[in-house]
Chains A and B, each alone.
Chain A
Amino acid sequence: MIDLWRSVPPRGRIVIALALAALLALPLAADRYVLSVLTLIFYFAYVGQAWNLMMGYAGQLSLGHALYVGVGGYVAALLWLKLGIGPWLGVFAAVATASAFGAVVGWLGFQFGIAGVYFALLTIAFAEFTRIGFDHLALTGGAAGLFLPFEEKRMGEWWNLRGGQLLFYYLALALASGAVLLAALMARSRLGYQWLAVREDETAARALGINAFAVKMAAVVISSAMTAVGGVFYAFYYNNLFPSQVFEISRSIELILAPIVGGLGTVFGPVIGAFVLTPLGEGLIAVTGHFGIDAPGVKAVFYGVILILIISLMPSGVWPSLAKLLGLKGRVP
């Protein structure tokens, strides 16, 4: 980790340190709304990073990552509601369950040579099965959803993730920063290079002795495990879970936009992407509201148009383009 920090150019170290310090100090100055938007940014940076490890580095397209958010969220919420087990413990069960789901999806895909878009279809199918399953699962309240009750006496129990905006702001910041750190370490690791090899050319990778199956399994298990932690955050932040919301394919799409817009296969791409997209969505709500054109779908149309513009102007992502402008050399960090 010290090596990693040393490898960052001095300019980069200053920017990272200043950004972190500013975000840590921000709650002193910002209001609740700003904090809630930033919390959302960090959340999308986090789950985006989890997906980015699998797609951006290992080249395996998942369009069903909502599965792991949902499973993670439900497991931790159930343990809390039914057994009184707090999320700091529950997160381990959530991670174990979601990565088991990930392992099944990965095993089926990789063992039987289902690759590319067909693999993506498999991931969608699993998310959909699970959504339908949860719709009928009495234990989790079925389609009517699961609610984490608001209890006045528990507010401030940060160890049980019962608290206000500030708690979740710092938690999301920690998650997003941790994910950046993890991605940076992975990108420089042996496994990270093996992922890149498989992404670039699986046949060539195997000819160099890389066990492509094992490497891809590692990607899907790590990615689903990370995503599940995001799910636990989601459950305790929003205090409700509906199968039709958490497992929806639009949820899976939503969480892959930040890394795509920010820059696939880069450490900072998902963060930059989340910082572009989430404020864009929030800004559009304000703007369309202000001009009185808040008819259903108007916001989505503008959002879509802007997304198309960004992607057509910067096809490899905002961060790689920015890195070029900043004169960064070599592989985009």
Chain B
Amino acid sequence: MTALLAAANLSKRFAGLVAVDGVSFEVAAGEIFAVIGPNGAGKTTLFAMIAGTLAADHGTVTFAGARIDGLAPDAVCRRGIARTFQIVRPFPALSVEDNVVIGALLRRADMGAARAHARTILEMLDLADKRAFLASSLTLPDRKRLEVARALATDPKLLLLDEVMGGLRPTETDRMVATLKNLNHDTGMTILLIEHVMRAVMALASRVLVLHHGAAIAQGAPEAVVRDPAVIVSYLGAGAAG
């Protein structure tokens, strides 16, 4: 197993609060890896340190054999890591297609090629029939799909998904799960997701990392992790594990 992404001993402290405390994990090329944990566990902070929006106090992030900690978010993306935002951030006044074209332009200088690539991606995300709409007119599920489409258009080696199922109805969640599964299956795209929706995590992830109060308390196959007493305690409180 070659690790595409390796976080080693990552730590971040905010004014006395330890948000992430010495977390290490590796994501293999081609796998779907999930980071879960209760609210405030440090998932988003961990995510931000990988994506370059926050600098780690300690530890390193290695991607495809090179250190990427300390790089700016745009440089991280150019290395081949594309992210989505938990609170979606479409370019509201632009069409759905133009949103994706902007992603596609990262590795294409030619507008025609970028547009063609964007259309392929929109097809994959079931957004092709809405490509002429303004991004601001989309519903939340479609905006979440647009987030993924735009990130994918940059041809990443690793896709970072920040609660991309959050706020979706179960049917919409299943649709997104199917899309991501197909993507991983068809293109071998490596996916690192932060997720609250356990039904999605169970369906997608090959391995799971559980954070609690900033520390990694369990790591492994999803079926094993959800039976781990420490994990149950962290979610439901002491006494629930019995």
Contacts and interface: CB of A to CB of B under 8 A. Distances in A.
B103 interface: yes
B101 to A, nearest CB: 6
B74 A209 contact: yes
A199 B105 CA distance: 16
Interface in A204-243: 204-212
Contacts of B77: 206-209
Q: For chain B, which range describes its interface: under 10, 10 to 19, 20 to 34, or 35 or more residues?
A: 20 to 34
Contacts of A252: none
B85 A204 contact: yes
Contacts of A330: 95, 132
A331 B82 CA distance: 27
Q: For chain A, which range describes its interface: under 10, 10 to 19, 20 to 34, or 35 or more residues?
A: 20 to 34
B49 to A, nearest CB: 14
A212 B74 contact: yes
A190 interface: yes
B105 A194 contact: yes
Given A190-B111, A194-B105, A209 B78 contact: yes
B153 to A, nearest CB: 8
A207 B111 contact: no
Interface in A109-128: none
Given A196-B91, A196-B94, A200-B92, A208 B111 contact: no
A188 interface: yes
A193 interface: yes
B154 interface: yes
Interface string B195-220: 00000000000000000000000000
Contacts of B222: none
Interface string A83-103: 000000000000000000000
Interface string B145-163: 0000011011000000000
B96 to A, nearest CB: 12
A201 interface: yes
22 contacts: A190-B111, A193-B101, A193-B102, A196-B94, A196-B102, A197-B91, A197-B102, A200-B92, A200-B94, A201-B89, A201-B92, A204-B89, A204-B91, A205-B74, A205-B91, A205-B102, A207-B74, A207-B85, A207-B151, A208-B106, A209-B82, A212-B74
